[in-house]
Amino acid sequence: MKNEISFNENDLIAGLDEALSHAQGKLTLRTATLPSQPKPLSPAAIAKIRQQMHASTPVFAAYLNVNTDTVRSWEKGRRAPSGPALRLLQIAQKQPQILASA
């Protein structure tokens, strides 16, 4: 049995109208200003963030949705956070209440 792909011709027509308007100079593309990439954090900085949140290692790991051993590895310098974890640490550093209440 094949999976069917839903198709909405109105969405297609609307997209073509937008493309035509853009080509004619009547519409400009939307742009977004993205935040800068988070800077790497030292093991001491990660431990400081956790301590400022008054969280044990397991609780802090739960806030970040990572394994407890991962947080321990970051704090001991065996591994470094990257990608989404680094962004979450940046949020925890700047506005810990957001992470704790999520």
In this model, does residue 1 exceed pLDDT 70?
A: no
Residue-wise pLDDT tens digits, 61-76: 999 999 999 999 999 9
What pLDDT shows up at residue 46?
A: 98
In angstroms, the CA 93 to CA 40 distance is: 12
Q: Quickly tell me which residue has 């800077």 as its tokens.
A: 39
Q: Tokens standing for 26?
A: 């009547």
Q: What is the pTM of this model?
A: 0.68
CATH entry, 43-101, from 1.20.1250.20, 1.20.1430.10, 1.20.1440.230, 1.10.260.40: 1.10.260.40
Whole-number Cα distances in Å, 72 to 61, 84, 86: 9, 17, 15
* Per-residue pLDDT reduced to its tens digit, 20-66: 888 888 877 777 788 889 999 999 999 999 999 999 999 999 999 99
Query: Are the C-beta atoms of 91 and 99 separated by less than 8 Å?
Result: yes
Tokens describing residue 81: 């956070």
* Residue entry with tokens 């990572």: 66
Question: Among candidates 69, 99, 68, 65, which has minimal Cα distance to 85?
Answer: 65
List the chain domain ranges: 43-101
